[in-house]
């Protein structure tokens, strides 16, 4: 995976704009499918649900980096349909590697003496 200075990424042969990379990072943080409100909370950004649905739809339909699934849940005896989203294997593997490297660099910056151990 290659990152541009503006935050865009090249995942495989797919160019992913910065806003979609942020969504993928949030999704990778979940070890399970997540709903739009959960993703929005994880991102901590002021994105409308409509904007987030648009970005997720593009990642699922156009870029094939996210899986969308409709599930039925029961709330107080009433069945409700929900859409859940999960980062696909290619995005998950590559972004987890990048996130792990970033955490290591941050740790080394905070504790330079441990960097050489």
115, part of any domain: no
Question: Does residue 117 lie in a domain region?
Answer: no
Tokens of 32: 């399970």
Q: What angle do CA 12, 105, 17 make, to 5 degrees?
A: 35
Token pair 């995942």 in the structure block, residue? 11
How open is the CA angle 77-83-87, to the nearest 5 degrees? 135
- pLDDT tens string 52-87: 999 999 999 999 999 999 999 888 999 999 999 999
The answer, as to whether pTM is greater than 0.85, is no
Inside any domain, residue 68: yes
pLDDT over 90 (residue 29): no
Share above pLDDT 90 across residues of the chain, in percent, rounded to a whole number: 47
43, 23 Cβ separation under 8 angstroms = yes
Residues comprising the chain, all counted: 117
Residue 74's domain is classified under what CATH number? 1.10.10.10
Provide the token pair at 49: 């649900």
> What does the mean pLDDT of the chain come to?
86
- Tally of domains within the chain: 1
Strands (DSSP E) along 66-116, which ranges? 66-75, 78-87
Domain span at 40: 2-110
Residue 30 pLDDT > 90: no
Residue 57 resides in a domain: yes
Q: Does 116 reside within a domain? A: no
In a domain, 32, yes or no: yes
Q: Which residue has the higher pLDDT, 83 or 5?
A: 83
Element (H, E) at 112: none
In a domain, 42, yes or no: yes
Work out the pLDDT band at 27, boundaries 50, 70, 90.
very high
Structure tokens at 109: 């910056």
């Amino acid at each position: 995976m290659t990152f541009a200075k503006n935050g865009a990424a090249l995942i495989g042969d797919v160019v992913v704009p910065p806003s979609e990379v942020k969504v993928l990072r949030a999704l990778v943080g979940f070890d399970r499918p997540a709903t739009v409100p959960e993703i929005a909370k994880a991102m901590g950004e002021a994105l409308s649900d409509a904007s987030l649905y648009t970005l997720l739809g593009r990642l699922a339909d156009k870029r094939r980096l996210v899986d969308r699934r409709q599930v039925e849940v029961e709330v107080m005896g009433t069945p409700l349909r929900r859409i859940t989203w999960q980062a696909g294997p290619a995005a998950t593997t590559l972004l987890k590697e990048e996130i792990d490297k970033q955490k290591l660099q941050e740790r080394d910056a905070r504790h330079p003496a441990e960097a050489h151990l």
